[in-house]
Amino acid sequence: MSGPLSGIRIIEMVGLGPCPFAGMMLADMGAEVIRIDRPVRPGENNPFPMLGTACDVMARGRRSLALDLKQPESVQVLLELVTKADALIEGFRPGVMERLGLGPDVCQQHNPRLVYGRITGWGQDGPLAQAAGHDLNYIALSGMLHAMGRPDGPPPPPLNLVGDFGGGAMMLAFGVVCALLEARQSGKGQVIDAAMVDGTALLGAMLYGFRAYGAWHDQRGANLLDGGAHFYDTYTCADGKFISVGAIEPQFYALLLKSAGVTDPAFQQQMSVAAWPELKQKLGAIFASRSRAEWCAIMEGTDICFAPVLDMGEAPSHPHNQQRRNFTEVAGVVQPAPAPRFSRTPAQISRPPAKPGEQSAEILRDWGIPAALAVAVLR
């Protein structure tokens, strides 16, 4: 293994969404992450048929051990693994791990240095802690969903990037690394309560500051960064494709007007909020007069703060993404490459996604699980 986390051992209790994403991030950085999967029963229907295939991108870089945690032998095996691990991450509802006999108190009795990372939507406590939810609900409660979208309708679901992965998985991975660093000094582990609603609220720190200052309003489409400004928005081109413009600074704005051939003196009112709707309509008509490729030829690579809006089929082929190697191919599946970059300990994808339980025997051997116990859970 290479990467800055090489030598770190982590147990991942397999779930959906943010916990696997955090496990992927940690594995990309060189940690040895063992996924604890449920055993696949013969004839059992898989509600998520992508899981366990090469397309299960978030499962990359880890080996899989299948354990039936309803069986005492499997619980014993997991506790044996805990004694040899630096961290454990799980994404179940509060209380599930405790009911399995694998809560943080039990695990840290076996390994006082263990970092125990927990990721949920609402957190380990609070009035909503036991309620079901998804990304959309968590970002709604944080105040961030209300700020997204056009003013003439309800906020649209902005994919599950903000809550699940930004406010959830990345906060969990960050918390795990912070706690591992602290454990090196104190010799003690601790529990991380990473909640997606908490993390999403934190992602909004700048906007809450703007609002307190009076520079942000709750009305969508009336602010600098929410599509209200004509110089910070997306536009439709003549061919039906889209471009993005973010010419906030005066010198960038001046270059935008020059490159677009704008001579209308009304555009000199850049920061007049009252003028934004009319200026946006005029600028939209200009961008609609040429194709996306034509605007790229004029504006891409300049200080206008411009980029074409690419779909997921186009993005890996863009010259900048290609030179930066922002995408890679693993087992025939094109996918985002690990990030960020390290000068001396580069991150890498060590293996394609594993099928549930694919490496059970070798994991038990490599982690030194007693042979009799290993036989009991493998039969």
Determine whether 253 is exposed, middle or buried from the number of CB atoms within 10 Å of its CB (0-12, 13-18, 19+).
buried
**H or E segment to which residue 193 belongs:** strand 191-195
Token pair listed for 197? 């609603």
Q: Give the per-residue pLDDT at 45.
A: 67
Q: Give the per-residue pLDDT at 46.
A: 67
Q: Give the per-residue pLDDT at 329.
A: 97
Q: Give the per-residue pLDDT at 363.
A: 96
Query: Where do the structural domains in the chain lie, given as residue ranges?
Result: 9-203+328-378, 232-317
Break the chain down into helix, strand, coil percent, rounded to 5.
Answer: 40, 15, 45
Q: Give the per-residue pLDDT at 282.
A: 98
Question: Helix 170-186 and helix 196-203: axis angle, to 10°?
Answer: 100
Q: Give the per-residue pLDDT at 52.
A: 79
Q: Give the per-residue pLDDT at 47.
A: 63
Q: Give the per-residue pLDDT at 8.
A: 98
Q: Give the per-residue pLDDT at 311.
A: 98
Write the single-letter amino acid at 172. L
Cα 58–Cα 60–Cα 66 angle in degrees, nearest 5:
95
Residue whose C-alpha is closest to residue 233's, from 212, 214, 253: 253
Q: pLDDT, tens digit, for every residue of 93-125?
A: 999 999 999 999 999 999 999 999 999 999 999
Active site residue ranges: 134, 164
Q: pLDDT, tens digit, for every residue of 22-57?
A: 999 999 999 999 999 998 776 666 667 787 789 999
Please enumerate in sequence order all residues whose Cβ is within 8 A of that of 212, keeping only pairs 6 or more positions apart, or say none. none
Q: Give the per-residue pLDDT at 1.
A: 63
Q: Give the per-residue pLDDT at 51.
A: 79
Q: Give the per-residue pLDDT at 43.
A: 64
Which CATH architecture does the domain made up of 232-317 adopt?
A: 2-Layer Sandwich (3.30)
Q: Give the per-residue pLDDT at 108.
A: 98
Q: Give the per-residue pLDDT at 278.
A: 97
Backbone angles phi, psi at 367, to 5 degrees: -90, 5
**H or E segment to which residue 82 belongs:** helix 72-84
Residue whose C-alpha is closest to residue 359's, from 342, 374, 376, 337: 374
State whether CATH 2.60.120.200 applies to domain 9-203+328-378. Answer: no
**DSSP codes of every residue in 276-330:** HHHHHHHHHHHHTTS-HHHHHHHHTTSTT-EEEE--TTTGGGSHHHHHHT-EEEE
Backbone angles phi, psi at 358, to 5 degrees: -60, -35
Q: pLDDT, tens digit, for every residue of 18-29?
A: 999 999 999 999
pTM of the model: 0.95
Q: Give the per-residue pLDDT at 2.
A: 83
CA distance 120 to 196: 6
The low-confidence residues of the chain, meaning pLDDT below 70, are: 1, 42-47
